[in-house]
Amino acid sequence: MRHGETEWNAARRFQGTSDVSISARGRRQAEALARALRPRALVAAYSSPLRRARETAEIALAGRGVPLTVVPELAELGIGEWEGRLADELGEPYRRWAQAPLDNPPPGGEPLPAVAARVGRAIEAILRSHAPGGPAGAGEVLVVAHGGVISVYACEVLGLSLNQLWRLRVDNGSLTVVTPPRLLTINETGHLPP
């Protein structure tokens, strides 16, 4: 699932690895996620180390007794010189990146193949840990991350080029359900408040 909205999301300011908190709207999204997750028998949860993901996970899991583990490899992709900047002020370089991010990375940004590799390693470790007979016990897990991370992983599962990354919509507070090697749903938002 993707973390709740931040003030930076609302302003269309690039967050990347900047460590910002969720907004009041993000908290409402996390509370809606908690309600949507109630029927699921979660055995564990994993989160990006960035505050917006951790806060979302903590709210969504409140009172459930589900252990939350922070996984550094689930952090959002670094966007270099664009961090903290508004999308509208970047002009043509942003438009090229939005159309083909693999071919047009932001200056100083983390290469998408490196993001895919670290996210893939993290998800594989989680899957091994929760496989039948695994050390953490089999069962359904929750992963709370970021739009870029979820989109990169979805591209990998679907066998898409990373240039297709931004063609996948992953809203704040949405659920994406994956049972590797299948992507079951992406960007479920029916549980979110208007």
> What is the token pair recorded at 5?
């909205």
CA atoms of 138 and 167, how far apart (whole Å): 33
Burial class (CB within 10 angstroms; exposed 0-12, middle 13-18, buried 19+) of 2: buried
89 is catalytic: no
Q: Which of 3, 5, 55, 156 is catalytic?
A: 3
Q: Yes or no: say if 192 and 34 are a contact pair by the CB < 8 Å rule.
A: no
Q: Which of 31, 55, 73, 76 is catalytic?
A: 76
Give the position of tokens 């994956």: 178
Q: For the chain, what is the radius of gyration of the CA atoms? A: 16
CA atoms of 12 and 46, how far apart (whole Å): 26
76 is catalytic: yes
Q: Yes or no: say if 51 and 20 are a contact pair by the CB < 8 Å rule.
A: yes
- For the chain, the farthest-separated pair of C-alpha atoms sits apart, in whole angstroms, at 51
Catalytic residues: 3, 76
